[in-house]
Structure 1
Amino acid sequence: MSEEMVPGTQFKSLIEQDMQDCYLRYSMSVIVARALPDARDGFKPVHRRVMYSMHKLGVVPNKSTVKSARIVGDVIGKYHPHGDSAVYETLARMAQDFSLRYPLVFGQGNFGSIDGDSPAAMRYTEAKMNNMGALMLEDLEKDTVDMGPNYDESLEEPLVLPSALPNMIVNGTSGIAVGMATNMAPHNLREVGAAIHALAENPDLTGEDLMEYVKGPDFPTGAIACGRAGIRDAYLTGHGRVRVRARTEIETDSKGKSRIIVTEIPYMVNKAELCKKIADLVRDKRVDGITDIRDESSRDVRIVIELRRDAVGEVVLNNLFKYTQLQTTFSIYNLALVNNLPKLLTLKDLLQVYIDHRLEVITRATQFDLKKAEARLHIIEGLRIATQNIDEVVQIIRNSKSTEDAKQALQTRFNLDEIQSQAIVDMRLAQLTGLNIEKLEAEYNELIATVADLKDILEKRERRIAIMLQKLDAVVDKYGDDRRTTIGEAIDDSDDEDLIAEEEQVITLSREGYIRRLPIDTFKTQSRGGKGIIGAGLKDEDDVEQIFTASTHSYLLVFTNKGRAYWTKVYRLPEGARNGKGRPIVNFVGLTDGEKVQAIVPVRKFGGYFCLVFATKKGIINKMDLKLFSRPRKAGVNAISLDEDDELVKVQLVGLTEEEFKASEAASELDLGEEDSAAEVAENAEEVEGEEVNDENRPIPHDLLMLATKNGQAVTFPISCFRAMGRGTHGVRGIKLAEGDEVISLLWLKAGNKVLTITEKGYGKRSEPGSYRITRRGSKGVKNLNVTDKVGPAVFVDSVADDYDLIITTKEGQVIRIKADSIRVTGRNAQGVKAITLRDGDSVGDATALPSVEDIEQDSAEAKETFDKVEGVEVDDDSIVKNDGEDNDVMPKENPEEV
């Protein structure tokens, strides 16, 4: 029908239908004839044709090798009319012991290497089938498989191989078709043989039962398969992911210098590219602590990674696992052709398909042998008749005019057929001797027994199973070997931690955003009689902004001015020298533009009676259970909701007693008043005139918090006076600010410490915590500093011990370090004394209080003791890798005025 005769829509429909049919035929051609293996022998057509061509050429194990070009040419010319490179690559891969668990071809010459080197040209290499390859074609001549025409129908080729070796399972395969792909892992022959044995004898076994025999993939390059969950998924569903790690060890010489030795690498990893990747990471400073990389491999893999003397081998190794192919993921997808249709196969399916195929091969081989035995028996029966009537037979033959007359006469006289009469006519006189007649009788009796036995095999499935298992056991006994790949436990960051010694570290963060960690022993003074000061070891790092101690196993919660929270581990930080600068913190947490780190909180466990208290510049405070931050995301989470003109100032981790925690949880909204009482207003007015409330000796409760402002106000209240909220909430008012004032610090008051204040004009003072009257949350508070033009507003307020060092930095870069106790103790509303002499036009920008080694060790010991008593919650470290999205777990914003 012409186009004009067909309406437009109908013509379009015909084109669409034709395109669909053509594409479907093309897809099935690719799937069946090129990309996917047959589940019975595990071969794609090109593999099968290479093996069959070698078989027909006589390039078998007991013969000499021939040029690879001859094999490739024979394959292309007779069976596979495609590119020679694809055929040669197939031949070469079947000869590579690092590609196939059990190679099928013996190669002589350069057939490539694990470094990614290509095989030499086919004219230079030679090959032949090895013993394992010969198993794939065993009994092929016994009509055990179907044959089909080659591409020009001039020859026949097998549609599947007999496959005495369970090639599909032990060697695996990979391929990409149209809309589907396969990736099957290699396995150990002994384990597969045992599983086939068990399933053949008991077909009711489940996948779980079979996993008792097949432990997991067994890669030709060895390495370690981490975890069984992915293996279990693959065996029970046909699809799973297995994490594979290189086999490594860390050696330490007598001088304390370490090196990482890699002896096995994951399957299909290019060793040369792996070494290059490690070198690139070292050059780009993404992995620290490596001084040299050497590939000392010969026949076995050996990569030596030299480490810097102060590098922790476990940390470097974990980074290499993270950033290189020393750790890979092998995605198993058991897709293969069953009855020429693609099917996703479980472990049981794979084994059952092989068992069924082998039983069919054995059945057809038995039928072939039976047919051959019966044909011979038929001839022997005719010969027996002739020997029993030899005189008459001789007379008939002598009296016949021709051979045909003799055959016809014999057939008529003894009721024989054409085949039997021909055998008698062809019989030589030597066969009439007594000895030969006895041999004839023995052969007859043997054939009778053989035919009966073969018929019994065909009648009884259990006998065919026994024959199959007997042959398989012989293959396993001869070619089976020990497992190369170790099945290890599942790995995650907690497992990585177990490799790292738990040590106390001093963490410093500079004002420029550089972070580092150092062993606490680095700062212990060797001087006679003096206390070790943390600051004494900082040398040129006088711009340190935060300093604290934490265990290498601790978590670090990093909070920014925008109210976001990030998460990292202490052992991931670089271990630097005392005068080193460290690395930018953006290398460890994903800060966005405009974000600045305001607080870092070390946490040993997420659990117990711990909470985080947040303070903002506009006087808002919030309290949250520490457990809410045990599952952060790579992109960070919203810790606190801020107004547009507000920002986070400080975050304080507070450990409470059980009673304090319950009181905090039960805080009533009725107790959260935010207005100053008349007495408080009067007291504030009196304090402006210089009169102080003298209660310096009042004991300090454990749970007191203080908010300090730029203009000299301070409000002190117990943490139990306001309730905890959800993550991402707004919070409640902590202090009522006067116009132009803002919060600059949040303090957790500690008994024995003083409240230290530094002003913009270089004045400082220390005050007893007991002199700060406890007020209502949300009030104006009391005087902390008498702000005048002389002293300027406060820039720094903190709770410090007498033996702290104080580093004061000016806006023009002047730095001074003084003892905290060199600033005298005064009343809380005094102006203080000069702490630093400023140049004209200069002013104090910031200050940092550095504790002594003794203080920080005591704090660390107390924190460890407190955390060790609590039961930690499960921390999903993987979430910071898997989830790069925005934080959706945000609770609604609360209005502080309504609360």
Structure 2
Amino acid sequence: MSSDVPDPTDVEARAVENVRIEDEMEQSYIDYAMSVIAGRALPRVEDGLKPVHRRILYAMGEMGVTSGSSHRKSSSIVGETMGDYHPHGDQAIYDTLVRMAQDFSMRHPLVDGQGNFGSMDGDPPAAQRYTEARMAPIAEELLEDIEKDTVDFSANYDDRLQEPDVLPAAFPNLLVNGSSGIAVGMSTNIPPHNLGEVIDATIELIDDPDATVEDLMDHVTGPDFPTGANIVGRDAIYNAYKTGRGRIRVRAEYELEEWKNGRERIVVTELPFQANKARLVERIAEDVTEGDLEGISDLRDESDRDGVRIVIELKRGANADVVENKLLESRLERTFGVITLALVDGQPQVLSLKETLEEYVAHRREVVRRRSEYELAEAEDRAHILEGRLKAVENAEDVVELIRDSETRSDAKTALRDVYGFSADQADHIVRMQLGSLTSMEAAEIEAEYDDVQAEIERLTEILESEQELLEVIKAELREVKAEYADERRTSILEDEGTVTHEDLIPEEDVVVVMTEDDYVKRMPASQFDPQGRGGKGIIGADVKSGDRVTSVFRANTHDYLLCFTNQGTVYQLKTYEIPEMSRTARGKSAVNLLDLEDDEEITAIVDTDAVDAEEYVTMVTQDGYVKRTAGEEFENILSTGIIAASLGDDDELVDVEVTDGSQDLVIATEGGMTIRFDESEVRAMGRNARGVNGIKLEDGDAVAGLVATEEGDGRALLTVTRNGYGKRTPLSAYSSQSRYGKGLIDIKTDGRNGPVTDVKAVTVGDHLVIMSEEGQIMRTRADEISSVGRNTMGVTVMDVADGDAVASVDVLPAGDD
């Protein structure tokens, strides 16, 4: 570098200020946040527009691309907007332009688009070079009178041009079209509303400034989405209007139709606002495929340009109410979170319905006042000129002669001012007049115009001097907009009669639930199985695949909430109606879709949650003879992944569970035919993670088969069923009570024909038994069909089990249940 050229870095700073880096970063971030909040993300309360929307509309107005012009290439509009007002990238501008043209996004689109502007299926719009646009008629109402000094202007980004800070907005666009946006640390989500309702509420507020939100809701009944659908419940709407925040449930519009062959179908004709139709159909199909949604045979999207039509065909015999409710729970109902956040005097503020309309009315009051002042000044200027013209007409000959005698136009103006007292503007206008303007007919026209201008001046003066007259103007203009653009509501308001649960739609009935070793599960109505005499073979109850076997069968009610205890000591909660209902010959559905079972984990005991009170106990027994009691209150909150019910020793398994009240006796039965009865108080209550205490002393090779809780005088008998299909009933009174951890007494002989004990139950004479074999044969018989005999006997044939098959499980249908 030449020594004559100064080093640009060798400059002494005027001042150096030491600043903590965290303070500088904090202030810089705040400045950035406010820039995003005010300059991009949030709408102004007055016109409901963000800067990019406002700049697009203003640019279109300046270009003359109004509703009366021909369409213009979108790329041209985007280019003009970006070049003059919004230097933030063409894609952001085009995306905004597209949204303003979508009739499924805007309640009253502000842009009239021509070409592909996207769809409800989430299809993207065509490139901006292929689409055309112009301003929609209602958008011109936002720009109306902008040339009459009605709003403030600021310099654009490069100081070449002026752009409006806000548009005059002849209607409350913030509520009519809504808005959404995410700023730094805050967001807005304002639903669209019906134009006529919003205008009526605005007029109501003008007439009665003390009107409450409830009063305004007599007009604005709720959001009115462009896609229609239904809002469920009015309380959420009121909360949103009262506080500026709320969560509104929006439900699709659909109807249930009778179809061919006695089948039914659900036809969806309107979707919740902002729902992606293609994705919705895809997700319903996935639910059906994965088994989460049953009863659907076919699904089609028959939508066209005329509207939405999604057809959901139901299987023959499917419960339409159940399918409908499941669809509502998962896909056809969504929540719209209302956050009425907008810029008020440059600051973000959450507004109630009343506050929003008050801000709009204040804006329109200012617009009409400034417009009236502008028009009054113009009218007064025009009246001044007309006064000069009338005076010139009265002195036509002298005025003409004076002008003709003047050497220059400037001399003529001076002479007119000096001789007749004309002002400079009047003199300039008279000099420029044509001679034809001095005729008597022209004079009459001037006088008529002068009278009209004077009347206009009086009207404008009255508006400016009277607040009431100014408000009347606002109301009249709002009524004109309503008459021109308002239409019927599209979104209906449904009364919230409480959430209809899936359970409410399920018929309450007793069912038989079957589970297999490979975790297949299903339910069947218990009424499908007619009682047989003992010793029968039964009928097919499950199509068990090769290598699998039935492990348990139990009775439940479709409305029961069940605690499912597994052999590994875990407990899960299951709703009976969630188990799929299938035919007798069906295999079932994999339980992994219902319960988060581990490998080799089987359900060994079922307890109805209605039977468990906080002060009662869940009493468990394991294969190795351990027994424990745990307070019922510890089973109130069951995770979807299950919770520990009991800790088990190596190779031990949980076998059976009973609910006890603290004063009963426990009867433990073993596979080898032994039983022991003792007072449950001998087993202290302990936590879920405990292992328990010894309940019965087992012989080598023996294992616990089941548990029964009883009390003196209950009149029940102990039903014992063996693996080979034999069994007996013995009064429980025949089992004398002894201390815990004894060998017990012989209950049934298990040598030879009987085989080991499979299950024990406490029964009364009127009970019915449901017995199932490992190969899927099921039999229902009456308990009194089985002989009542003493202990230490062989018993009788209960079920004729085929060679290679064995009794898997027994359950009881209590007396009186069908």
TM-score of the superposed pair, with normalisation by structure 1: 0.77
Cross-structure match for 1:303 = 310
Q: Which amino acid aligns with 2:140?
A: A
* Cα distance in 2 between the residues matched to 1:818 and 1:237: 61
Once residues 145 and 65 of structure 2 are traced to their aligned partners in structure 1, the CA distance between those partners, rounded to angstroms, is 16
User: Of 527, 541, 549, which aligns to 1:538?
Assistant: 541
CA contact (8 A) 2:721 2:728 kept: no
Residues 329-348 of structure 1 aligned to structure 2 (within 5 Å) = 329-348=335-354
Q: Distance in 2 between matches of 1:814 and 1:487?
A: 52
**Worse-matched range after superposition: 629-638 or 350-359:** 629-638
Tell me what 1:860 maps to: 817
Measured in 1, the distance between the counterparts of 2:580 and 2:776 equals 28
Asked if 1:113 corresponds to 2:75, the answer is no
Is the 1:549–1:860 Cα contact (8 Å) retained in structure 2?
no
Counterpart of 2:619?
Answer: 614
Whole-angstrom CA distance in 1 between matches of 2:536 and 2:410: 122
Structure 2 vs 1, CA of residues 483 and 502 (structure 1 numbering), >3 Å: closer, same or farther?
A: farther
Q: Hey, what does 1:756 align to over in structure 2?
A: 719
The amino acid across from 1:714 in the alignment is I
- Asked if residue 285 in structure 1 is aligned to residue 291 in structure 2, the reply is yes
Secondary structure of the residue aligned to 1:860 is: coil
- Structural mapping, 1:594-633, within 5 Å: 596-602=602-608, 613-617=618-622, 620=627, 622=629, 633=639
Moved more, 178-187 or 503-512: 503-512
Q: Which runs of 5+ in 2 are unaligned?
A: 1-7
Deviation at residue 375 of structure 1 after TM alignment = 1.1
Q: Distance in 2 between matches of 1:373 and 1:44?
A: 35
Match of 1:410 in 2: 416
Paired amino acid for 1:847: A
Counterparts in 2 of 1:835 and 1:767: CA distance versus 1, 3 Å:
closer
Separation in structure 2 between the aligned mates of residue 28 and residue 835 of structure 1, nearest angstrom: 82
Measure the CA separation in 2 of the matches of 1:826 and 1:472: 93
Q: 2:378 and 2:286 mapped to 1: Cα distance?
A: 68
Classify 1:504/1:466 alpha carbon distance in 2 versus 1 (closer, same or farther; 3 Å). Answer: farther
Q: Which moved more, 1:537-546 or 1:444-453?
A: 537-546
Contact 2:759 2:810 in 1 (8 A): no
Structure 2 contact 149–370 (Cα < 8 Å) conserved: yes
**Rounded Cα–Cα distance in structure 2 between residues aligned with 1:560 and 1:226:** 41
1:276 maps to 2:237 = no
Worse-matched range after superposition: 762-771 or 478-487: 762-771
Give a deviation string over 1:32-83, Cα, whole Å, max 9, x none.
2222222221222221122112212222222222222322232233222343
> Is it true that 1:150 corresponds to 2:156 in the alignment?
yes
Which has the higher mean CA deviation after the structures are superposed, 363-372 or 167-176?
A: 167-176
Moved more, 68-77 or 353-362: 68-77
Structure 1 distance, partners of 2:34, 2:190, is: 20
Q: Per the alignment, do residues 815 and 434 of structure 1 end up closer, same or farther by CA in structure 2, a change over 3 Å counting?
A: closer
Alpha-carbon distance between aligned partners in 2 of 1:62 and 1:144, rounded to the nearest angstrom = 23
Aligned partner of 2:809 among 828, 832, 848: 848
Q: Which residue of structure 2 lines up, in the alignment, with residue 694 of structure 1? A: none
- Distance, in Å, in 2 between the alignment partners of 1:768 and 1:724 is 29
What does residue 766 of structure 1 align with?
728
Counterpart CA distance in 1 for 2:682 and 2:110 is: 75
Matches within 5 A, 1:189-268: 189-268=195-274
Query: Equivalent of 2:747, from 785, 803, 823?
Result: 785
CA positional deviation for 1:356: 1.7
Task: Report if aligned partners of 2:300, 2:312 keep a CA contact under 8 Å in 1.
Answer: yes
Q: State how far apart, in whole Å, the 2-side matches of 1:286 and 1:763 are.
A: 38
SS at match of 1:827: coil
What is the CA–CA distance in structure 2 between the aligned matches of 1:471 and 1:444, rounded to whole Å? 26
Equivalent residues of 2:647, 2:690 under 8 A apart: yes
1:99-178 aligned at under 5 Å gives the runs 99-178=105-184
Residues 838 and 164 from structure 1, CA distance in 2 versus in 1: closer, same or farther, beyond 3 angstroms? closer
Note the 1:347-496 alignment, pairs <5 A: 347-390=353-396, 393-394=399-400, 396-490=402-496, 494-496=500-502
Kindly indicate whether the alpha-carbon contact (under 8 Å) linking 2:729 and 2:786 is maintained by their aligned counterparts in 1.
no
Q: How far 1:320 moved relative to its partner?
A: 3.6
For residue 21 of structure 1, report the CA deviation from its aligned partner.
Answer: 4.3
SS at match of 2:159: coil
Question: Within 1, Cα distance between the matches of 2:204 and 2:739?
Answer: 74
Q: Tell me, yes or no, if structure 1 residue 56 matches structure 2 residue 62.
A: yes
1:726 and 1:263 map into 2 onto residues whose CA distance is 57
Structure 1's 631 and 353: CA in aligned 2 closer, same or farther, altered over 3 A?
Answer: farther
Pick one of 42, 63, 82 that aligns with 1:36: 42
Residues 550 and 836 of structure 1: CA distance in aligned 2, closer, same or farther (over 3 Å): closer
Which amino acid in 2 is paired with 1:860?
Answer: D
CA distance in 1, matches of 2:685, 2:392: 109
1:273 to 1:577, Cα distance in 2 relative to 1, 3 A = same
Structure 1 vs Structure 2: percent identity of aligned residues?
Answer: 41
2:708 maps to what in 1? 747
CA distance in 2, matches of 1:723, 1:472: 81
**1:296 Cα deviation after fit:** 0.9
Indicate the residue corresponding to 2:581 in structure 1: 575
Say which SS state the counterpart of residue 513 (structure 2) adopts. Answer: strand
Letter in 1 for 2:541: L
Equivalent position amino acid for 1:84 in 2: D
The aligned counterpart of 1:828 is 791
- Quick one: structure 1 residues 628 and 15, their matched pair in 2 at CA, closer, same or farther if it must change by over 3 Å? closer
- 1:849 partner amino acid: V
TM-score, with structure 2 as normaliser:
0.84
Maintained 8 Å contact 1:763/1:831: no
Distance in 2, Cα, partners of 1:215 & 1:641: 56
Q: Are the counterparts in 1 of residues 665 and 677 from structure 2 also a CA contact under 8 Å?
A: no
* Aligned equivalents of 2:116, 2:340: Cα separation in 1: 32
CA deviations over 1:481-515 (Å, ceiling 9, x no partner): 22222333458764444444445543333343322
Call closer, same or farther: CA 1:477–1:818 in 2, change over 3 Å: closer
User: Hey, what's the Cα distance between the residues in 2 that align with 1:653 and 1:252?
Assistant: 47
User: Aligned partners of 1:495, 1:814: CA distance in 2, in Å?
Assistant: 33
Q: How many Å separate the matches in 2 of 1:464 and 1:806?
A: 87
Structure 1 residues 817 and 73: alpha-carbon distance in aligned structure 2, compared to 1, 3 A threshold: closer
Deviation string, structure 1 residues 78-119 (Cα, Å, up to 9, x no partner)? 222343232222222211111111111112222222122222
* Whole-angstrom CA distance in 2 between matches of 1:193 and 1:354: 11
CA contact (8 A) 2:665 2:678 kept: yes
Partner residue, 1:799: 762
Quote the residue 2:3 is aligned against.
none
2:98 to 70, 92, 103: 92
Residues 822 and 503 of structure 1, relative CA distance in 2, 3 Å threshold: closer
The SS at the match of 2:101 is coil
Structure 1 residue 610 displacement after superposition: 11
Contact 1:507 1:548 in 2 (8 A): yes
Shift of 1:533: 9.3
One-letter amino acid of the structure 2 residue matched with residue 311 of structure 1: A
Q: Any idea what the Cα deviations from partners look like across 1:225-250, whole Å, max 9, x if unmatched? A: 33445434433333333333322233
Structure 1 stretch displaced more, 593-602 or 777-786: 777-786
User: For residues 746 and 732 of structure 2, what CA distance do their matches in structure 1 show?
Assistant: 12
**For 1:255, what is the secondary structure of its paired residue?**
helix
Aligned positions of 1:677-756 closer than 5 A: 706-709=667-670, 712-715=674-677, 744-747=705-708, 754-756=717-719
